[in-house]
Chains A and B, each alone.
Chain A
Amino acid sequence: MADLSDLKKTPLFDLHEKLGARMVPFAGYAMPVQYPAGVLKEHLHTREKAGLFDVSHMGQVTIRPKSGDVRDAALALEALVPVDVAGLKAGRQRYGLFTNEDGGLLDDLMITNRGDHLFLVVNAACKEADFAHLSTHLSETCEVTPLEDRALLALQGPGAEAALEKVAPGVVAMRFMDVASFDILGAEAIVSRSGYTGEDGFEISVPAGKAAALAEMLLQDESVQPIGLGARDSLRLEAGLCLYGSDIDQTTTPVEAALEWAMQKARKKGGAREGGFPGASVILEQLHNGADRRRVGLRPQTKTPVRAGAALYAHEEGGEPIGVVTSGGFGPSVEAPVAMGYVPAGMSGAGTPLFAEVRGKRHPVMVATLPFVMPRYKRA
């Protein structure tokens, strides 16, 4: 077993050990990669019933406007993200991206308007850098506070609503990307109807001291099983969602990454608050003319899984690599290998035949539309 002694622990560490998790280092934390059921069964259970994930390693941040007007915080944050934050209504959440001066991505995140302040959730591996980035650029007008004493649980799958309703009556009325406060175990929980699996579900921020009790309460529901990072990765891959550090990073722009849907009209050319974020000239130009390369879905045409790092070729023999796989593996719900990667724009159309090199041999793959499984978000 890996040495976990130098790693940070989430408030659920003891519970993971009690549940028989295999713990691994992840972004400086000891995290459960799988429980005794194993990645395959955990994945399928989440799609069929409900999975409980510990995502307490992720960063939670509040941005409070010194003026008292949340619009001032939204406008300040808009200087760092190509997203319409000012147009986000109270109680609503939106996906966002921190960009750099080259148009690359420093992180991806969730942004919530909590009425009088903004609430962000950022990636574990980026959180220190994100805090510093936010503090540097927003401190004049806002108070930026990392919430280090809060845990984050995700409850995902078709059974999530019924299971959480028992603990937090009223969540049933929420729809996709709603965020609201609920009293759970006598403390304020921030509940969002969102997730990273393609399923309906919730993310629940609670004080660290309440996390284990909440997790145990949810696990008492027979439909709820604990799910590790292994299945979290295969679930998000099937859902076509990016993993920061693999599918997107400082060298990929939102347009290359096929994330232009995360940029609303107000921030695009001709919009009310056009540009004004790092890398705007690059990104707005790419929005107009397209990028040279695109992130696409890939369906291997044989049974051989194609994993991150595999080189992509236009032909079965000869030639230089034309792209690379950034995430890949076996999709338990698709019952076949699935992958995504970057290819030249001219080869990014669905149905384009390509080849991926695995163990020295080129295997046929086909460019496919994402996601690989239809999302089941509760939109209405």
Chain B
Amino acid sequence: MLKFTEEHEWLKVEGDIATVGITTHATVQLGDLVFVELPDVGKAVEKGDEAAVVESVKAASEVYAPLAGEVTEVNQAIADNPALVNDDPMGAGWFFKMKLADPAALADLLDEDAYQALVG
């Protein structure tokens, strides 16, 4: 299952584990990333909490937790090479995995069609 947020994150869900990244639209808006700060594994987050930080040459932006849960794994490869996020935002450029506190809350997020309609 693939879900999206209005803050331009995507979630790929398998069971109660969601892999989270930022959308292609977001990477185009941000430009070339030069720095990524990832959350600590084990960190508990509420929906809307600041979970990661991405920086371009010009500015820093937050990546928010799309739902409540616990961070179970982070993608160290994008911290080592932030360009990976620009090159493959929906794949190798994923940010972190989280165990969802309430998988039923996924129903509140956008599906792909609704997200595409949002970003036009």
Name A's B-contacting residues (CB within 8 A).
Answer: 33-34, 38-41, 43, 230-231, 233-234, 303-305, 307, 329-330, 332, 337, 359
Contact = CB atoms under 8 A, between A and B. Distances in A.
B53 interface: yes
Contacts of A41: 32
Given A304-B37, A307-B60, A34 B53 contact: no
Interface of B: 31-32, 34-35, 37, 53, 55-58, 60, 79
Given A305-B35, A330-B34, A39 B53 contact: no
A39 B35 contact: no
B31 A38 contact: yes
B32 A305 contact: no
A311 to B, nearest CB: 16
B58 to A, nearest CB: 5
A327 to B, nearest CB: 12
A329 B58 CA distance: 7
A32 to B, nearest CB: 13
Contacts of A33: 58
25 contacts: A33-B58, A34-B31, A38-B31, A39-B58, A40-B31, A40-B56, A40-B57, A41-B32, A43-B57, A230-B58, A233-B58, A234-B58, A303-B79, A304-B35, A304-B37, A305-B34, A305-B35, A329-B57, A329-B58, A330-B34, A330-B35, A330-B57, A332-B34, A332-B57, A337-B35
A231 B57 contact: yes
Nearest to A38: B31
Contacts of B32: 38-41
B27 to A, nearest CB: 11
Nearest to A41: B32
A176 B55 CA distance: 35
A296 to B, nearest CB: 22
B57 A39 contact: yes
A39 B60 contact: no
Given A38-B31, A329-B58, A330-B55, 4 more contacts: A34-B31, A39-B31, A40-B31, A332-B34
